[in-house]
């Protein structure tokens, strides 16, 4: 059974304080690892898909990286509008998307 564990569960940062969110996974036949941002009361917003170890993708202040066991979402010089829950999910050989429980990120002005 595919499993996704995200840490930390919650993270509070000062504006401008860079940090990383972790997503550890076990999956049978990884077809893709997804990162999403979810604001309260909204559906997840697509950020990145990573397909193989060593791959990196960037979007504004966010950078996602992937190894064979985990993925990191690095946030550089965050702003208050980056506050949200960040979800990681894996898509494996069972053709199902398995989500982690997310990291609630709060950026303090």
Return the HEC string of 25-62. EECCCCCEEEEEEECCCCCCEEEEEECCCCCEEEECCE
The only residue of 78, 82, 90, 100 in contact with another protein, by rule CB under 8 A: 100
The length of the chain in residues reads 109
Q: Which of 15, 46, 93, 106 binds another protein (CB under 8 A)?
A: 46
Contact 108, 19 (CB under 8 A): no
Q: In Å, how far from its chain's centre is CA 25?
A: 12
Position 35 contacts another protein (CB under 8 A): no
The reply to whether 36 sits near another protein by the rule CB under 8 A is yes
Q: Are 62 and 75 in contact (CB under 8 A)?
A: yes
The answer to whether residue 54 forms part of the interface with another protein (CB under 8 A) is no
Q: Does 49 bind another protein (CB under 8 A)?
A: yes
> Binding of another protein at residue 97 (CB under 8 A)?
yes
Does 101 bind another protein (CB under 8 A)? Our answer is yes
Give the residues lining the site for another protein (CB under 8 A): 32, 34, 36, 41-46, 49, 87, 91, 96-97, 99-102
């Amino acid at each position: 059974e595919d499993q996704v564990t995200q840490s930390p569960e919650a993270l509070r940062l000062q504006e401008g304080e860079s940090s990383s969110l972790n997503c550890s996974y076990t999956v049978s036949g990884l077809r893709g690892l997804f990162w999403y941002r979810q604001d309260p009361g909204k559906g997840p917003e697509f950020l990145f898909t990573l397909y193989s170890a060593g791959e990196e993708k960037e979007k504004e202040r966010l950078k996602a990286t992937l190894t064979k066991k985990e993925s990191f979402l690095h946030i550089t010089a965050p702003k208050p509008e980056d506050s949200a829950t960040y979800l990681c999910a894996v898509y494996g050989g069972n053709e199902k998307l398995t989500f982690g429980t997310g990291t609630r990120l709060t950026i303090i002005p």
